[in-house]
Structure 1
């Protein structure tokens, strides 16, 4: 069983973005001290939901501040950048960290980012598979070239050469098929429950089997990773009350920051219902409740790698306390799973 932390670099009201970024690195150091296996950093642009615009850059800083813990991106967005440039960054971090870096990538969304970075809506709507294949080619060979719809260039050496595979954020049947077809592990979000996670894992196995893969391979062998909210308190009621007080102050303005690049309506979510769901389906509660909830997730899904979103209380001191308590009061009981 692998257990990590998931850091969104959440911009709670009253917190300056630079302060949040510095605190995020300190949270990684605290997670290493608490015994977590890895820390995964999110990437967002032009919004307070997450104030880290380059997950690889912040991972590099955190790698330099730590010695054991793994660092991952959850995720680096492929639709707004060049896959080979991202592969170069991943290769650097892999080599200088002794293999502690893990690259997670995603399609992103139809947001204004596409306009700002000049990649356009077409890259989001129809270019993800090509971007992913080019990324994998760069990360798996000594040279790379492209002759596709979005990328065309002559063969060049890939320096520094590396052998690593990305994990892929999967939020739809199409992305599950894409990951399964390429034999890449999935990153599953905290917005879905155990039943939905299990269904996606089943679809992945079925797709891999239909394409000649091994249907008996368990999800943990594929390296799938799932994000969940993790918040511990003296009692479950206290933990739930704390998150119901803090999360809406972040999620309300944060989710409103998703600005579509075209004329489609922005996403809408009932914040109170969403927070209630997060508290209900994830390890939010007493240490005993958190352990039992995670055991239930493992039993229902077969997942063996979870990353806990630990910033929910909305303060840096509270995040560090949450990490320390999870490490001392929850992690030891999970090591036997």
Structure 2
């Protein structure tokens, strides 16, 4: 099991009197702390036009983080390709991989928030086709060779990037956790990533989705040893369960009220479905073992949700590093 931090960058500057600049600084400090504590990865979300997510260009803040960290892998979750020129995406993230000494984790997606499509004046009806066309361009660009592309949405002639990624193969995920979407990505041969409570109502339902994804991946002839499935779960760890729930509940409900997608839910709903990691280290270990058995081998801990105070986030991170991570050292469970 790999451990990462995931930040959506939801910020409520009026409610908590926390400026956007202050949130950026807090997340940078959390990233540096995570690197020191031995976390495997950090993931920054990209969103637009809403307090639900204020980081519009993750590659900029990740480049800053690269200069202050040594080992932690730097992920974006996700780049919404239908909003972008794919050549620009290829250039920006190739440069980030170079600046970070080959630590880029690239998450890509087709988008899901109507107000973002409206803001960019992009028709979302053909987003999957636009995504596939853009992905093909990025794959060609990152070979470093001169290429041309004649797609339905993007056309380029004799283009060659001067800067390509340092990694020979940049680890790439596609945001998909629905039954249909994940199976399609499996056939493509890419890893998937996602937020369980959006696409499923239980760990058992999630396991079925992941099993079907792996089956499609395997039957298409892809190497199953390369699978890595990160799942995002809201996380807050304290010395007692009472403290964890008392601190986290209000902030989680605020996040859920702001998220603009998924089924209506509150803390009690997600706890009943076992779709949060809120409690003592022992509580979190037990629940993570269930996710591991379901097929998750990389947890993206969403810790700074709903304006949760910075000091609380740092302490939760420390408890995970001190008491949760050791329980998964050299611990491998093979799912059926």
Q: Which TM-score bucket, shorter chain as reference?
A: 0.7 to 0.9
Query: What's the secondary structure of 1:213's corresponding residue?
Result: coil
CA distance in 1, matches of 2:128, 2:106: 22
Q: Say whether the 8 Å CA contact 1:229–1:278 is kept in structure 2.
A: no
2:210 to 164, 179, 201: 201
- The within-5 A match list for 1:16-35 is 16-35=19-38
Q: Deviations over 1:128-170 (max 9, x none)?
A: 2222222223234423322111101212112213332421110
Q: 1:336 maps to what in 2?
A: 330
The Cα of 1:249 is off from its aligned counterpart by: 2.6
- Structure 2 residues not aligned, in runs of 5+: 332-336
The Cα of 1:61 is off from its aligned counterpart by: 1.3
Q: 1:322 maps to what in 2?
A: 316
Q: Say whether the 8 Å CA contact 1:81–1:117 is kept in structure 2.
A: no
2:278 to 278, 284, 300: 284
- The within-5 A match list for 1:1-337 is 1-12=1-12, 13-14=15-16, 15-124=18-127, 126-162=129-165, 163=168, 164-191=170-197, 192=200, 193-213=202-222, 217=224, 221-252=226-257, 254-255=258-259, 258=260, 267=261, 269-272=263-266, 276-278=269-271, 280-299=274-293, 301-312=294-305, 314-337=308-331
The Cα of 1:95 is off from its aligned counterpart by: 1.5
The Cα of 1:125 is off from its aligned counterpart by: 5.4
> If the length of structure 1 is used for normalisation, what is the TM-score?
0.87
CA distance in 2, matches of 1:94, 1:175: 28
Distance change >3 Å, CA 275–CA 158, structure 1 → 2? farther
CA distance in 2, matches of 1:278, 1:147: 48
Distance change >3 Å, CA 296–CA 268, structure 1 → 2? closer
Q: What number of residue pairs does the alignment pair up?
A: 320
Query: What's the secondary structure of 1:137's corresponding residue?
Result: helix
Q: Deviations over 1:76-98 (max 9, x none)?
A: 11121112211111111111211
- Structure 1 residues not aligned, in runs of 5+: 259-266
Query: What's the secondary structure of 2:114's corresponding residue?
Result: coil
CA distance in 2, matches of 1:186, 1:125: 15
Q: Say whether the 8 Å CA contact 1:187–1:226 is kept in structure 2.
A: yes
CA distance in 2, matches of 1:22, 1:82: 29
Q: Deviations over 1:302-325 (max 9, x none)?
A: 322111111147111211121122
CA distance in 1, matches of 2:292, 2:118: 41
RMSD: 2.2
Distance change >3 Å, CA 8–CA 53, structure 1 → 2? same
The Cα of 1:268 is off from its aligned counterpart by: 7.1
Distance change >3 Å, CA 24–CA 278, structure 1 → 2? farther
Greater mean alpha carbon deviation, residues 132-141 or residues 32-41: 132-141
The Cα of 1:3 is off from its aligned counterpart by: 1.0
Q: Deviations over 1:30-86 (max 9, x none)?
A: 111221111111111111122111122221111111111111001111121112211
User: Stretches of 4+ moved more than 4 A in 1?
Assistant: none
Q: Deviations over 1:281-328 (max 9, x none)?
A: 3321111111111122112x2322111111147111211121122111
CA distance in 2, matches of 1:250, 1:115: 23
Greater mean alpha carbon deviation, residues 175-184 or residues 223-232: 175-184
Distance change >3 Å, CA 64–CA 151, structure 1 → 2? same
